[in-house]
A = this chain, B = another copy of it.
Amino acid sequence: MTSKRSSRAADRTEAIMRTTLELGQEVGYAKLSIEAVAARAGAGKHTIYRRWPSKGALFLDSLLYLNEPGLDYPDTGDIVADLRKQIHAAVDLLSGPPLGPLYQALVVEAQHDPLVAVALNERFIAPQADKTVARLKAARDEGQLSSDFDLDLAMAILSGPLYFQFLIAREPLTHDYVDRVLEALFVGMRPRN
């Protein structure tokens, strides 16, 4: 009985998550509404609001619920190859169609809405940063990074140029660009002797 009930709850969550992404792709982030998600998913509006206090929180959870495994780091022992692979996957997911414009809208909404900013940081930026730092730490322990390299800083210099390209310079984020950034960050700008 309990397991049937919890499996029904899981089915309902999955329906709400899928419907949110589907509707978001159909109408765009600005026109997405919790009411429309509730109607199409056959869920109560209040059921959704109880768990997701805002459209931003609902959308963010949908994005992560359906895609989280794709954002985990491999650990093949080669830090550059593993960063490349994970960052290529993240770029494909978050900057290209169909989800890129929705993710961009969410980042913009976080600038206006402190609740969305907190949700974005707690549910995505911070856990993703933790995974990156853990993978970098393993690499540093294996001697693949400078022994005194600040890992939080490494995370910021890996992510920053990609957000810059996407949000500020507004240029497409290609795998080639990712590869060039990685190469530059590992080698450094100083002349090599």
Contacts and interface: CB of A to CB of B under 8 A. Distances in A.
A145 interface: yes
B180 A190 contact: no
> How many copies of this chain are found per oligomer?
2
Interface residues of A, number: 42
A97 interface: no
A5 interface: no
A65 interface: no
Nearest to A120: B168
Contact of A168 (B125, B144, B146): B125
Interface in A89-130: 104-105, 107-108, 111-112, 117, 121, 125
A160 interface: yes
Interface of A: 104-105, 107-108, 111-112, 117, 121, 125, 143-147, 149-150, 153-154, 156-157, 159-165, 167-170, 180-181, 184-192
